Structure 1
Amino acid sequence: MVMTILVTPKTLANHTIRDFRMLIGGQWLNGNAAPIERIAPSHGTVVSRFASGTRANAEAAIRAARKAFDTGPWPTMTAAERSNVLLKAADLIAARTDELAFLDAIEAGKPISQVRGEIAGAVDIWRYAAALARDLHGESYNTLGDGTLGVVLREAVGVVSIITPWNFPFLIVSQKLPFALAAGCTTVVKPSELTSGSTVLLGEILLEAGLPAGALNIVTGTGPEVGAVMTSHPEVDMVSFTGSTGVGRLTMSNAAQTLKKVSLELGGKNPQIVFPDADLDAFIDAAVFGAYFNAGECCNAGSRLILHKSIADDVVARVAELAKKVKVGDPLDPETQVGAIITPQHLDKIASYVSGARAGGAEIAHGGDALDLGMGQFMAPTILSGVRPDMAVAREEVFGPVLSVLTFETVAEAIEIANSIDYGLSAGVWSRDFDTCLTIGRKVRAGTVWMNTFMDGASELPFGGYKQSGLGRELGRHAVEDYTETKTLNMHIGNRTNWWMPR
């Protein structure tokens, strides 16, 4: 029986619907087509309208970014000047936290308290990128002989297309844009057509911070109409995309037409491997958090528990008991922990995974159903026990609050189960034995392995995955370098002997 605490959504009747425009070449523009209306997934009412960008809008934005890169001034400004703009932007983001958080909460159905934390994290990322802007440097080699000096430069890659998803609208654009700008690149950004509000607001903030016209362009609209142009246009030098693995493949295919540099942060099916000697009190909380944070609509979600058989029944019972206390409901209520599912279609997809697993022999230890709160779409935190490694729910990204429980007996078996899927974004291991943790950490093929914690992070730590979880890394001390090309200057000193002259 579902005993999850429900928080009924309040009305948004007094909310003023905002019409968001596109930013192209420093000018705010309306679309030529009918605007995109965003219906709040939690309240069922229109909360935002976005300009419906077209191919022509995307091409205009790319031209503006190209001109801004080729003629300046952003790429030719000193690192200190660029850093100062990013620092001012960080301050302005912090000052408008409530406004940004409200937009992400109503458009994505995210709990307002959670979003405020994400905005704070984004502020830290912008400040970190500002510091890296001043640390970007090349190399010199004066050991190549008396007649040779070698200098290696790092230059901005050029025009960067940035495409972001709906699940973390402001946080994910902040994992990309400040580093591209810090390197001296100019950019075209396409947020999800479901959650564009906070990204457009970021455009206002950056112009106020002193970013020159054309260095940032924002085109709202759909992937087929706008994203396809941004990933294939010959004037774009690099694409940075976060989203599903399927769309990532399409992005890579489009970019291959002109051999663009590509950075992809894609899906995950992340395991938490738990041994009998683990601190189970700490783990139980991490299991519930990892599975249900952001309603499970998170590439880093800990959606697979791989439990030692000797503790499996006890752990499942304890996780289910804590899951009953999770507060599901109105994202605008500060007490809410799990908000709404992004669209009715996505809710149906989540439900189909649950029903398919149940038909295949898995048991529902908690939840399993959609919740009727009178408006919007919500899913009960769900636990599936008795899941086999070959089941779809154990291998594919559900992207919802669904936790699959599998079991193992040996370390080798746990590693095999963890590595048996197409993804490799993150993983967790729980044991008081450091040898066990280190063995799992080195053998599991994932970009991040947490030991006795889960879903921690910092601006200094790289983020990205193995296998079909993506290409490249975001964040970390090399994040600005990812938006650069290296150039070698090989300088000859003195006379040079022509090779064809007789000796």
Structure 2
Amino acid sequence: MSLQQFQMCIGGEWTNAISGNTFDSLNPATGEAWAQFPDASAEDVNRAVEAADTAFRSAEWRSLTPTARGKLLRKLGDLIAANTETLAQLESTDNGKLIRETRGQVSYLPEFFYYTAGLADKIEGETLPLDKQDMLAYTIREPLGVVAAIIPWNSPLYLTAIKVAPALAAGNTIVLKPSEHASATLIELVKLAEQAGIPKGVINVVTGYGPSTGAALTSHPKVRKIAFTGGAATARHVIRSSAENFAKLSLELGGKSPQIVFPDADLDSAVNGIVAGIFAASGQSCVAGSRLLVHKDVYEQVINALVERASRIKIGNPQADESEMGPMATAQQLAVVESFVERAQAEGARLRLGGKRPDVDQGWYYEPTIFECSSNADYLMQEEVFGPVAAVIPFETEEEALAMANDSQYGLAAGIWTRDIARAHRVARDVHSGIIWVNTYRVVSAMGSIGGFKSSGYGRESGIDSVLEYTERKTVWINLSSEPMADPFVMR
């Protein structure tokens, strides 16, 4: 079978790697190669960054008013809406995500571009209330320059949109580096950006591996901002790379998000929310609610209902509408999941469901898996699996639940299940996470910020402040006095 061929976009030109090297992308549902991409070297990365820098300084881009930039983003949103099915099918093929989920994500993506388009001409400075009457001082916000965006394989289009939209709204240019496991949809997004009229070189994409392509991009001296989504281990390399160029950083990293079920909760709704939190996207989500803290009075009821509901999840071809869980995105991630399950069993966790691959002929599938743990210190309770593995533990008091929820290196998201509105507000206030869902889970909006505490990263994406992450503040001083300057050796 011939492989579908993709090229990189550098300075508006579609190109292969200078070396001619390529790599194959494997379909997670079959384990077979389906597409081929250029393997970019440091020389290719340099070309892309230089093209982005040239575009940033060009009259064509810099002369656009913020309102005009917003109109380009709106047009790009329209084109994404018009190509929803093509993009959804491509992403499902590339990373194994369910077609019903990729359709849902892609159909909502235009909202991020529409919302951010409206923010483009709302980036304001301020006049400072000085203690010097002969001076006027004001601030302005300016774009940073070249942005490097590092995108993971689990939701590439969505995680690109929440970086590209605010970066361009603020007036920056960008170089995208997708995961080597899921590069196709980012390339198609750049083609749509061209159709929208975004000038050449404003959005570039280079494909390749993290240790080579990614490292060359994040350490490049002309990169002024790095927006990274991925794991903590890779983030440490990104932080070290940024020491070479002092680029600003925003990091959206992993999580071990707790879902706390109180005895007064709507238990049917809570079980559905738990299923959504850990088994949707086969658990391959940074906000996966994989740590279940259930009050002892309803513990048996909840875990039995969860086991029953999860046992009915339909595992199958991600492009089949009836499938509810698809494969792991990579063979490596499947091996990681298996190693977690083996360790949990060796440490004495009680397996209630799953714990093995399903009986399928091909692909990287794994069954929905549920463990009962004896301690919040257990490895499975503390470490991110990034797969369909839930760890469950009982608690007795609200204080105990909070202590366990916060006893984690992560702080990205949390779910709270209760009908007590006072308790909902108390717990939402006291849980150390950047996103709190009450009586729901895994909800996003263009208006809601995304980001974590502790080892889950820093900086925020989406929401009204997202554009400011891609600007720097400048203070301007104006001398209003007609008098000549006084003593030049004394600071005013």
For Structure 1 versus Structure 2, the TM-score category normalised by the shorter chain is: over 0.9
Q: More deviation in 66-75 or 110-119?
A: 66-75
Question: Matches of 2:111 and 2:93 in 1, distance apart?
Answer: 24
Say whether residues 1:489 and 2:479 are aligned partners.
no
Which of the residues 133, 136, 140 maps onto 2:123?
Answer: 136
Question: Matches of 2:232 and 2:166 in 1, distance apart?
Answer: 23
TM (norm. structure 2) is: 0.97
Q: More deviation in 64-73 or 20-29?
A: 64-73
Question: Matches of 1:382 and 1:496 in 2, distance apart?
Answer: 77
Name the counterpart of 1:427. 414
RMSD of equivalent CA atoms: 1.5
1:52 offset after TM fit, Å?
A: 1.2
Which of the residues 172, 175, 185 maps onto 1:198?
Answer: 185
Paired letter, 2:14: W
Name the counterpart of 2:274. 287
1:256 offset after TM fit, Å?
A: 2.0
SS at match of 1:177: helix
Paired letter, 2:231: S
Question: Matches of 2:143 and 2:332 in 1, distance apart?
Answer: 40
Contact 1:369 1:379 in 2 (8 A): yes
Contact 1:75 1:156 in 2 (8 A): no
Question: Matches of 2:338 and 2:374 in 1, distance apart?
Answer: 16
Paired letter, 2:16: N
Name the counterpart of 1:19. 5
1:215 offset after TM fit, Å?
A: 0.6
Name the counterpart of 1:9. none
1:361 offset after TM fit, Å?
A: 1.3
1:142 offset after TM fit, Å?
A: 6.4
Give a deviation string over 1:275-311, Cα, whole Å, max 9, x none.
1111111101001111111100000001010011121
- CA gap of 1:494–1:306, structure 2 versus 1, over 3 A, is same
Question: Matches of 1:267 and 1:141 in 2, distance apart?
Answer: 39
SS at match of 2:343: helix
Give a deviation string over 1:443-468, Cα, whole Å, max 9, x none.
11100111111111211011100000
Question: Matches of 2:73 and 2:95 in 1, distance apart?
Answer: 26
Name the counterpart of 1:121. 108
SS at match of 1:474: coil
Q: Percent identity?
A: 38
SS at match of 2:24: strand
The 5-angstrom pairing of residues 67-146 of structure 1 reads 67-141=54-128, 146=133
Name the counterpart of 1:469. 456
Contact 2:91 2:102 in 1 (8 A): yes
SS at match of 1:437: helix
Say whether residues 1:162 and 2:149 are aligned partners.
yes
Paired letter, 1:478: D
Q: More deviation in 16-25 or 451-460?
A: 16-25
1:80 offset after TM fit, Å?
A: 1.5
Name the counterpart of 1:240. 227
Name the counterpart of 2:170. 183
What is the aligned residue count? 488
Paired letter, 2:162: Q
1:194 offset after TM fit, Å?
A: 0.8
- CA gap of 1:183–1:98, structure 2 versus 1, over 3 A, is same
Name the counterpart of 2:436. 449
Contact 2:373 2:381 in 1 (8 A): no
Question: Matches of 1:46 and 1:441 in 2, distance apart?
Answer: 45
Question: Matches of 1:383 and 1:125 in 2, distance apart?
Answer: 35
- CA gap of 1:201–1:501, structure 2 versus 1, over 3 A, is closer
Moved over 3 A (4+): 141-146, 496-499
Paired letter, 2:236: R
TM (norm. structure 1) is: 0.94
Question: Matches of 2:72 and 2:417 in 1, distance apart?
Answer: 42
Which of the residues 235, 240, 261 maps onto 1:253?
Answer: 240
Name the counterpart of 1:4. none
**Structure 2, unaligned runs of 5 or more:** none
Paired letter, 2:377: D
SS at match of 1:301: coil
Name the counterpart of 1:348. 335
1:318 offset after TM fit, Å?
A: 0.2
Say whether residues 1:30 and 2:6 are aligned partners.
no
Paired letter, 1:361: G
Which of the residues 205, 210, 213 maps onto 1:218?
Answer: 205
Which of the residues 304, 316, 321 maps onto 2:291?
Answer: 304
- CA gap of 1:80–1:370, structure 2 versus 1, over 3 A, is same
**Structure 1, unaligned runs of 5 or more:** 1-12
Name the counterpart of 1:439. 426
Name the counterpart of 2:138. 151
Give a deviation string over 1:32-90, Cα, whole Å, max 9, x none.
23321111010222221111111110011011111111234223310111111111111
Give a deviation string over 1:158-216, Cα, whole Å, max 9, x none.
11000000000111001101110110001111011111000000110001111111111
Question: Matches of 1:212 and 1:282 in 2, distance apart?
Answer: 48
SS at match of 1:428: strand
- CA gap of 1:501–1:322, structure 2 versus 1, over 3 A, is closer
